[in-house]
Amino acid sequence: MAKPKQEDPPKGSPAWMSTFSDLMNLLLCFFVLLFSMSTVDTEKFEMVVQSLQSTFSILPSGGSTIGDGELISSGVSMLEKFDIYFNSSSALPKGDEEPDDSVTNPDTTVTTEEAQETLENAGLTESEQMAEQVSRLLQSYGLENQVDVEFNEYYTLINLNGALLFNSGEATIREEVLPVMEKIAVILNNYTNNLIEIEGHTDNVPPAAGEQYSDNDILSMYRALNVANYIRDNTTLDPAHIKSSGRGSYVPIADNSTAEGRAKNRRVEIKIYNSLNSESLNN
């Protein structure tokens, strides 16, 4: 028996599809209408974008922050010094200090100028404390009139008169001054974690013909080296923390046209760098 012939389906889309399409069109029109009535806060949008850029370190060098000034993140060496500064700072007991809004406020920004000033002030304070300690020790040894002490934001400087240490045209430390050098070594032994740099300086009068050192550059270099070697041999400091250099007559501190000025320029400087500027020890 033959099967009955099935009827063809009605032509066109099903009725439900037309209803669904109308609904989608209405929803689209509705959201377009909402968007056209809304406004975009450009300032907040830029803040979000810059925040994302800073978080993922994709902001080009020298970019600007949301506030004024350059991003502190553009100065890598400065961030390293900030890490040293904050890690070396003594933490106060809880409750002794009010919370600092500048830390928790997301709108607060730090410019490179402010960061540099903070570091310089911190370094200056530490160097001043070291200078006071060195001065007290020198006074206890009776050397306050033979050695000058200065400081800046980078280091504390011990200035030794060249005529005190060496004979004219020579780089060997005089035996008579070894007791002084011994006390200087004891003082330096307190700074085991600091970079210590010894610089030799001369006046602008060239060595006489026939002397051991042909020019002031070489003479100053060997004078600094001999002082550095004495410190290495007579302290427990890491030898790698001590470096020396000869500066010749290029960095005078007095007028070379007078005998008094030339005497001041013939010197050996011992620079004790503070903790913020001793990071090169780890390089």
CB 188 within 8 A of CB 272: yes
pLDDT for res 93:
44
User: Is residue 268 pLDDT above 80, yes or no?
Assistant: yes
Instruction: Give me the phi and psi of 179, to 5 degrees please.
Output: -60, -35
User: Is residue 229 pLDDT above 80, yes or no?
Assistant: yes
With H, G, I as helix, E, B as strand and everything else as coil, classify residue 217.
Answer: helix
Amino acid letter, residue 126: E
CA-nearest of 267, 248, 12, 278 to 150 is 267
Amino acid letter, residue 168: S
Task: State the average pLDDT over residues 210-216.
Answer: 89
Q: What is the pLDDT of residues 57-107, one digit of tens each?
A: 444 444 444 344 444 444 445 555 655 555 555 444 444 455 454 444 544
pLDDT for res 279:
67
Task: State the average pLDDT over residues 168-197.
Answer: 95
How many angstroms separate the CA atoms of 154 and 165, rounded? 26
How many angstroms separate the CA atoms of 211 and 2, rounded? 132
Contacts of 87 (CB under 8 A, 6+ apart): none
Q: What is the pLDDT of residues 15-40, one digit of tens each?
A: 777 788 888 888 888 888 777 776 65
Please state, for a pLDDT cut of 90, what percent of the chain lies above it: 50
Q: What is the pLDDT of residues 129-178, one digit of tens each?
A: 999 999 999 999 999 999 999 999 999 999 999 989 999 899 999 999 99
**CA of residue 265 relative to chain centroid, distance:** 30
pLDDT for res 244:
97
Split at pLDDT 50, 70, 90, the class of 269 is very high
How many angstroms separate the CA atoms of 20 and 12, rounded? 15
Tokens 């509705």 map to which residue?
Answer: 30
Q: Please state, as a whole number, how many other Cβ atoms lie within 10 Å of the Cβ of residue 197.
A: 18
DSSP notation for 111-178: BHHHHHHHHHHHHHHHHHHHHHHHHHHHHHTT-TTTEEEEE-SSEEEEEEEHHHH--TT--SPPGGGH
CA-nearest of 128, 175, 146 to 268 is 146
CA-nearest of 155, 185, 175 to 272 is 155
Element (H, E) at 224: helix 216-234
